Amino acid sequence: MVAKSQICKYGSSLADRIPKPIAEQREVQEGSAVEMVSRGNHVILRKKNYSLADMLATVTDENLHPEVDTGPAQGNEAW
């Protein structure tokens, strides 16, 4: 799919809008994580996909928080 667009000012940066059909096709919505890559004359916008293994690989002793006690069960929780 090809869509024409125009760069506009967004605060002190520049921005472009993603047309609705392209956003729906690529399952991108407000708040979606994306990365922008510059290759020659092309700017590529890619949806950022996270994997649990990649996220857990960033956990270290320094950024691991302690267990949090939330008190006794309040409903039908099975502990």
22-44 pLDDT, tens per residue? 999 999 999 998 999 999 999 99
DSSP string for 23-51: HHHTT--TT--EEEEEETTEEEEEE----
Spatial separation of the C-alpha atoms in residues 58 and 24, rounded to whole Å: 31
Within 10 Å of residue 45's Cβ, how many Cβ atoms? Answer: 13
Lowest mean pLDDT among 7-16, 54-63, 67-76: 67-76
Domain ranges of the chain: 8-56
Domain spanning 8-56, CATH class: mainly beta
User: What share of the chain in percent tops pLDDT 90?
Assistant: 67
Would you say residue 78 has pLDDT above 80? no
First-residue to last-residue Cα distance in the chain: 51
